[in-house]
Amino acid sequence: MSRCPRLPIHRPKAEHGPTSAEPVTARQLEVLVTIATHTAETGHPPSFRELADALDIRSTNGVQDHIKALKRKRCLLPDDEGPVKMRCLVLTESGKELVAQHQAAGATKESKKGVSHG
């Protein structure tokens, strides 16, 4: 008896477009900036322990909560879409835009501090 060939299951990819309607908190933005900075400096994303240490979070569970929220808000790729399936911390275009806006705002504040008003 011959078997019918299995057809592949079609699963639509998650959108990586604009962020969700839910805004990113200041702490979540810190997490994004830390991931982006660490990745730029080392060539790979930080581990959960490295994030916890960098952000003064006591446990990796706290980091995991922020990561889940950032994935839900489409600022990080879902686990099944990064180059390494486990704990893949890759910023989406939305996440990169948020980091760039944050860094630009920080640069503007720094340039204003350096201006003498006397």
pLDDT tens, residue by residue, 74-103: 898 876 655 555 457 888 888 889 888 888
Give whole-number Cα distances, 54 to 19, 31, 48, in Å.
25, 9, 10
Give whole-number Cα distances, 94 to 57, 83, 101, in Å.
24, 18, 11
Task: Establish if 70 belongs to a structural domain.
Answer: yes
Task: Establish if 99 belongs to a structural domain.
Answer: yes
Specify the pLDDT at position 53.
95
Task: Establish if 7 belongs to a structural domain.
Answer: no
* Range(s) of the domain holding residue 67: 26-107
Lowest-confidence pick of 32-46, 51-65, 75-89, 99-113? 75-89
Task: Establish if 75 belongs to a structural domain.
Answer: yes
Task: Establish if 16 belongs to a structural domain.
Answer: no
Task: Establish if 15 belongs to a structural domain.
Answer: no
Which domain CATH number covers 37? 1.10.10.10
